[in-house]
Structure 1
Amino acid sequence: MTEVHGDESLAAEVRELVGDRHPVLVAATVTPDGSRLAGLGASLDADMELGSISKGITGLLYADALERGELTPSTTLGELLPLADTPAAGVTLAPITTHRSGLPSLPPAAAPLRRTISLWRTGANPYGESREDLIVQARGVQLKRPTARYSNLGFELLGHAIASAAGTSYADLLHRRVSEPLGLEAFYAPATLDQLQPGALIGTSRSGRTRQPWTGEAFGPAGGIRGSIRDLARLAAALLLDGSAPGVAALDPVADFSGRTRIGAAWITLDHNGWPVTWHNGGTGGFRTWLGLDRTAGTAVALMSATSISVDHHGFNLLAQHTAKAAR
Structure 2
Amino acid sequence: MTSAQHELLPATRRALLHRVAVAQNEGRTPSLVAAVVRDGQRVWDGARTSVEGHAPDENTQYRIGSITKTFTAVLVMRLRDEGLIDLGDPLEKHLPGTGAGEATIADLLAHTGGLAAESTGPWWERTPGTLRPELSDVLGEQPLRHPVGRRFHYSNTGYTLLGALVEELRGAPWADVLRREVLEPLGLTHTSVRPRVPHAAGWAVHPWADVLLPEPAEDYGRMEPAGQLWSTTADLARFASFLLRGDDRVLSESSVREMRTPAAPADAADLGDGATYGLGMQLLHRDGRLLVGHAGSVPGFLAGLVIGVEDDVAAVVLTNCTSGCPVFTVAADLVRIVAEAEPRIPEPWRPLREDADPAVLELVGPWYWGTNGFALRLTADGLLSLEPLSGMGRRTRLRPEGDGTWTGLEGYFAGEPLRVVRREDGTVDHLDLGSFVFTRTPYDDQSAVPGGVDPDGWRGIK
Between Structure 1 and Structure 2, whose CA radius of gyration is higher? 2
Query: Structure 2: which 5+ runs fail to align?
Result: 1-7, 49-54, 207-211, 268-272, 345-462
The structure with the largest helix share of the pair is 1
Matched to 1:27, the amino acid is A
Q: 2:172 aligns with which of 168, 173, 177?
A: 168
Structure 1: which 5+ runs fail to align? 1-6, 116-123, 191-195
Post-superposition offset of 1:130 = 7.3
Q: Deviations over 1:208-232 (max 9, x none)?
A: 2111114222121111111111110
Percent of aligned pairs sharing the same letter: 23
Question: In the alignment, is residue 18 of structure 1 matched against residue 23 of structure 2?
Answer: yes
| Range with greater deviation from structure 2 (171-180 or 318-327) | 318-327
**Match among 231, 235, 240 for residue 239 of structure 2:** 235
Match of residue 290 from structure 1: 304
1:221 to 212, 225, 228: 225
Residues 169 and 281 from structure 1, CA distance in 2 versus in 1: closer, same or farther, beyond 3 angstroms?
same
1:101 maps to which of 100, 113, 129: 113
The more displaced of 96-105 and 313-322 is: 313-322
Q: 1:62 & 1:177 partners in 2: Cα distance?
A: 11
The equivalent residue for 2:147 is 145
Letter in 2 for 1:126: T
Tell me the amino acid that sits aligned with residue 26 of structure 1: V
1:261 aligns with 2:275: yes
| Contact 1:77-1:92 at 8 Å conserved across structures | yes
Q: What's the counterpart of residue 39 of structure 1?
A: 47
**Distance 1:154-1:80 versus aligned 2 partners, 3 A rule:** same
- 1:6-37 per-residue CA deviation (whole Å, 9 max, x = no partner) reads x9946733443414223311101001173122
Question: Per the alignment, in what secondary structure is the counterpart of residue 205 of structure 1?
Answer: strand
| Equivalences for residues 245-256 of structure 1 within 5 A | 246=251, 247-248=255-256, 249-256=258-265
* 1: CA distance, partners of 2:89 / 2:228: 24
Contact 2:259–2:278 (8 Å) recurs in 1? yes
Work out whether residues 214 and 285 of structure 1, in 8 Å CA contact, stay in contact via their aligned partners in 2. Answer: no
Q: Which residue of 1 aligns with 2:419?
A: none
**Kept in 1: contact 2:306–2:328 (CA 8 A):** no
- Residue of structure 2 aligned with 1:316, choices 332, 339, 345: 332
User: How many residues are paired up?
Assistant: 304
Bigger RCO of structures 1 and 2 (CA < 8 A, at least 6 apart): 1
**Which amino acid in 2 is paired with 1:145?**
P
How many Å separate the matches in 2 of 1:250 and 1:256?
A: 14
Structure 2 CA distance for aligned equivalents of residues 291 and 318 of structure 1: 11
Q: Check 1:203–1:67 CA distance in 2 against 1; reply closer, same or farther (3 A cut).
A: same
- Residue 135 of structure 2: SS of its match in structure 1? helix
Q: TM-score, normalised by structure 1?
A: 0.84
For the aligned residue pairs, the C-alpha RMSD in angstroms reads: 2.5
**1:74 counterpart residue number:** 88
The residue aligned with 2:104 is 92
Aligned to 2:399: none
Higher strand share: 2
